[in-house]
Chain A
Amino acid sequence: MSDTMSTKRLSSLAAILRHAVLLLTGALILLPFVWMISLSIKPPGEIFRASFSFWPSQFYGVENYTKALTEAPLPRYMINGLIVCSLILVLQILVCAPCAYALAKLRFPGRDLLFVMVLVGLLLPHQVLALPLFVFGYQLGILNTYTALIFPYVVSPFGIFLFRQFFKTIHDDVVHAARLDGLSELAIVWRILVPMALPAVIAFSIFSVVGHWNDLFWPLIAVRDQSLMPPPLGIMVFKNEEAGNDFGPLMAASTLIVLPLVIAFLTAQKWFVEGMTGGAVKQ
């Protein structure tokens, strides 16, 4: 009896400690975001005030957000981001899934060498390739177009690696059965393996969309035209040209840009977590 009592007390103590640590880490991660939102609803005078408060004494949100939406072509940036990210994602999956299938399930000479090359690609930071890609893009004459923003990312070593590892876990018999059932190799990829690898596809999609929505480095090199700029680059230009030290509208614009990702993740969260664990255990 006393044993269970002490275990209970101990476990509740541990739970308090656990939650304290989690809350603290969560707060640390959230703080910049909260600060961003707080700044986005403050008037200019209040932003640089010495005293600290999250809530403004004078609500200036409407003005800041109006300014963000009107003075910079923010909707245009967001549409650009949507076009670029979705095209990149679709093309990446179109390229990566068949590649991963070949590396995971087909036997051909040179396969292991190809896989090593994928791993090397995985190790290279994208910045290293920026200059060659820029020159290449220039020679193709595609700089300052959507194509320039998309083409370096169409082949994703990470995607190939992730899908290949997932396909490896699928029993060869499933592929054999599909061949006997009359499916072509591509049909096996799209109708059998990709649906079975849905958790991996979702995880990859999140990485890809977040990564390219937030990407600043390559767009900075590849496009100059404001009408082609994805959100972060637009914000940077907006900061330089329009806002100056006007942080209120800048933070409002930043908030608006992060918002779609947050909403998308929160709505997909339940499904995403289910997807990640659903196929993990053999039923």
Chain B
Amino acid sequence: MASVLIDSIQKNYGVTSVLRGVSLSIADGEFLTLLGPSGCGKSTLLRILAGLEVQDAGSVTIGERVVDGLRPKRRDVAMVFQSYALYPHMTVASNIALPLRMRKLSAVRRLPLLGRLLPGTTQVAGEIDEEVTRTAKSLGIGHLLVRKPGQLSGGQRQRVAVGRAMVRNPAIFLMDEPLSNLDAKLRVQMRAEIKELHQGLGVTFVYVTHDQAEAMTLSDRVAVMIDGELLQVAPPQDIYADPDDRRVAEFIGSPKINMLDGVVRERGLIDVAGATLTIETDARPGAALTLGIRPEAFHLADHGGQGSLTGSVRMIEHMGSDLFVHLDLAGIDHPLIVRLLAERAPYITPGQTLHVGVRPDRVLLFARDGRRLRRDAESDWTSVTPFREVAR
């Protein structure tokens, strides 16, 4: 059990900067997910935590210890890899036992024949066997101990990898996209099992994924990472509903959030896509903004006019309970995606003109540089550049 403190970590590969001063504090027993598109540096950060890569600057503290320069085995962390990384020439039992053998038996005792002759070896080996059997049983792979990894299915291999990680009671569990190689159904099942594992063990988990569903369902907090920077660290619901940055808003949510460019007409009114929306703003008239509106923030309106957007239906996607309507708005090249309840389906046809209203409190405002503009942060509002300057 330990907390983790990551302080201004930097990492470069040649001229490419992979991590640009990442700082993050993870509480003891927390489930934190590093979420980001591939190539954003999240796996590199995890490897730095594990000691498999060395950072160019910054430091990592696990528990009370600064672990920079400590070898991976001295850090008391265990890791589960995307590729499982099992040893194919060893049985499941040997795979799970290896970390224990390396820790509990000295080099001499590990010798194939001689080791057995030394007093005490047999007893320790017996304890290890017991530990392995107990771990395997708790993961439901007790009957597979004599098999080799090549004879197991993907889900079983993943369990062995988890078993190998948990058998030595690490202070921190690191997981690098552990579910990516599994099929969709198994992924959902294993997701639940990882959640249970975390609740059962109560140790700190750091989980890397590019799958937002995994991040949202598993985590206490999600750290969204894009281009080597941590953009936001917050509980899943806040990441979704209250993003700090345009890139976070765009990365989270499926279908993607609608981004519409607008200009403040006067206090409380924003011109966007040929319409005017009533949104409480303190920005100066003429300020250029981007409006982020989640597909489900829209509702059907009976008629056009102030406070609603009007467009023609390009396409309708049926998703069972929901309906995604793609609307072409005048003056906007990409369609607006509106999520409606499926019972509306019979009434909507492609080519039809549709009016949609939007709840003002569900509109997220971003500055043109991507920063989120919050109403209570007065300084943000005053610093918004007027539209004319941006256009120039």
A interface residues with partner B (beta carbon < 8 Å): 171, 173-174, 176-183, 192, 195-196, 198, 279, 283
Per-position binary interface string of chain B over residues 73-113, scored 1 when its CB falls under 8 Å from any chain A CB and 0 otherwise: 10001110111111111000000001100110000000000
Question: Given A171-B83, A195-B89 in contact, is the A180-B78 Cβ separation under 8 Å?
Answer: yes
Option from A171, A180, A195, A196 in Cβ contact (under 8 Å) with B79: A180
Question: Given A176-B47, A176-B50 in contact, is the A181-B99 Cβ separation under 8 Å?
Answer: yes
Option from A180, A198, A283 in Cβ contact (under 8 Å) with B89: A198
Instruction: List chain A residues, Cβ under 8 A from B69.
Output: none
Instruction: List chain B residues, Cβ under 8 A from A283.
Output: 150
Is B73's CB under 8 angstroms from A179's CB?
Answer: yes
Question: Given A181-B73, A196-B87 in contact, is the A173-B81 Cβ separation under 8 Å?
Answer: yes
Size category of the binding interface on chain B: 20 to 34
Instruction: List chain A residues, Cβ under 8 A from B79.
Output: 176-177, 180
Question: Given A180-B50, A180-B78 in contact, is the A173-B89 Cβ separation under 8 Å?
Answer: no
> In the bound complex, what is the Cα–Cα distance between A177 and B87 (angstroms)?
9
Is B85's CB under 8 angstroms from A173's CB?
Answer: yes
Give the shortest distance, in Å, between B284 (CB) and chain A (any CB). Answer: 53
Instruction: List which B44-67 residues lie within 8 A (CB) of chain A.
Output: 47, 50-52
Is B71's CB under 8 angstroms from A177's CB?
Answer: no
B72 close to chain A: CB less than 8 A: yes
Closest to B152 in A: A283
B164 close to chain A: CB less than 8 A: yes
Is A180's CB under 8 angstroms from B87's CB?
Answer: no
> In the bound complex, what is the Cα–Cα distance between A181 and B78 (angstroms)?
8
Instruction: List chain B residues, Cβ under 8 A from A181.
Output: 73, 98-99, 102, 164
> In the bound complex, what is the Cα–Cα distance between A198 and B88 (angstroms)?
12
Instruction: List chain A residues, Cβ under 8 A from B52.
Output: 176, 179-180
Instruction: List chain A residues, Cβ under 8 A from B103.
Output: 182
Instruction: List chain B residues, Cβ under 8 A from A178.
Output: 87
> In the bound complex, what is the Cα–Cα distance between A87 and B151 (angstroms)?
36
> In the bound complex, what is the Cα–Cα distance between A245 and B50 (angstroms)?
72
Give the shortest distance, in Å, between B50 (CB) and chain A (any CB). Answer: 6
> In the bound complex, what is the Cα–Cα distance between A192 and B88 (angstroms)?
9
Instruction: Name 15 A/B residue pairs within 8 A (Cβ), A-sorted.
Output: A171-B83, A173-B85, A174-B87, A176-B79, A176-B85, A177-B164, A179-B52, A181-B99, A181-B102, A181-B164, A182-B73, A182-B99, A182-B103, A195-B87, A195-B89
Is B82's CB under 8 angstroms from A180's CB?
Answer: no
Give the shortest distance, in Å, between A137 (CB) and chain B (any CB). Answer: 36
> In the bound complex, what is the Cα–Cα distance between A183 and B164 (angstroms)?
14
Give the shortest distance, in Å, between A124 (CB) and chain B (any CB). Answer: 33
Instruction: List chain A residues, Cβ under 8 A from B89.
Output: 195-196, 198
Give the shortest distance, in Å, between B257 (CB) and chain A (any CB). Answer: 34
Instruction: List chain A residues, Cβ under 8 A from B78.
Output: 180
**Most chain A beta-carbon neighbours within 10 Å: one of B73, B84, B103, B150:** B73
9 cross-chain pairs, A with B, having the tightest CB-CB distances, nearest first: A182-B102, A173-B85, A177-B85, A182-B73, A173-B81, A181-B99, A195-B89, A179-B72, A174-B85
Is B83's CB under 8 angstroms from A173's CB?
Answer: yes
Closest to A192 in B: B87
Instruction: List which B139-183 residues lie within 8 A (CB) of chain A.
Output: 150, 164
Instruction: List chain A residues, Cβ under 8 A from B102.
Output: 181-183
Closest to A283 in B: B150
Instruction: List chain A residues, Cβ under 8 A from B86.
Output: 174, 177
Give the shortest distance, in Å, between A168 (CB) and chain B (any CB). Answer: 15
> In the bound complex, what is the Cα–Cα distance between A167 and B53 (angstroms)?
20
Instruction: List chain B residues, Cβ under 8 A from A177.
Output: 79, 81, 85-87, 164
Give the shortest distance, in Å, between A202 (CB) and chain B (any CB). Answer: 14
> In the bound complex, what is the Cα–Cα distance between A115 and B143 (angstroms)?
45
> In the bound complex, what is the Cα–Cα distance between A183 and B79 (angstroms)?
14
Instruction: List chain A residues, Cβ under 8 A from B88.
Output: 196, 279
Instruction: List chain A residues, Cβ under 8 A from B83.
Output: 171, 173-174
Instruction: List chain A residues, Cβ under 8 A from B98.
Output: 181, 183
> In the bound complex, what is the Cα–Cα distance between A171 and B99 (angstroms)?
19
> In the bound complex, what is the Cα–Cα distance between A178 and B98 (angstroms)?
9
> In the bound complex, what is the Cα–Cα distance between A188 and B365 (angstroms)?
53
Give the shortest distance, in Å, between A158 (CB) and chain B (any CB). Answer: 24
Sample of 14 further A-B pairs with CB below 8 A, known A171-B85, A180-B52: A174-B86, A174-B87, A176-B52, A177-B79, A178-B87, A179-B73, A180-B50, A180-B72, A180-B73, A182-B102, A183-B98, A192-B87, A196-B89, A283-B150
Is A173's CB under 8 angstroms from B87's CB?
Answer: no
Instruction: List chain B residues, Cβ under 8 A from A279.
Output: 88
Instruction: List chain A residues, Cβ under 8 A from B73.
Output: 179-183
Closest to A198 in B: B89
Give the shortest distance, in Å, between A192 (CB) and chain B (any CB). Answer: 6
Instruction: List chain B residues, Cβ under 8 A from A179.
Output: 51-52, 71-73
> In the bound complex, what is the Cα–Cα distance between A182 and B106 (angstroms)?
12
Instruction: List chain B residues, Cβ under 8 A from A198.
Output: 89
Question: Given A182-B73, A283-B150 in contact, is the A176-B99 Cβ separation under 8 Å?
Answer: no
> In the bound complex, what is the Cα–Cα distance between A171 and B86 (angstroms)?
10
> In the bound complex, what is the Cα–Cα distance between A177 and B85 (angstroms)?
6
Give the shortest distance, in Å, between B168 (CB) and chain A (any CB). Answer: 8
Instruction: List chain A residues, Cβ under 8 A from B47.
Output: 176
Closest to B78 in A: A180
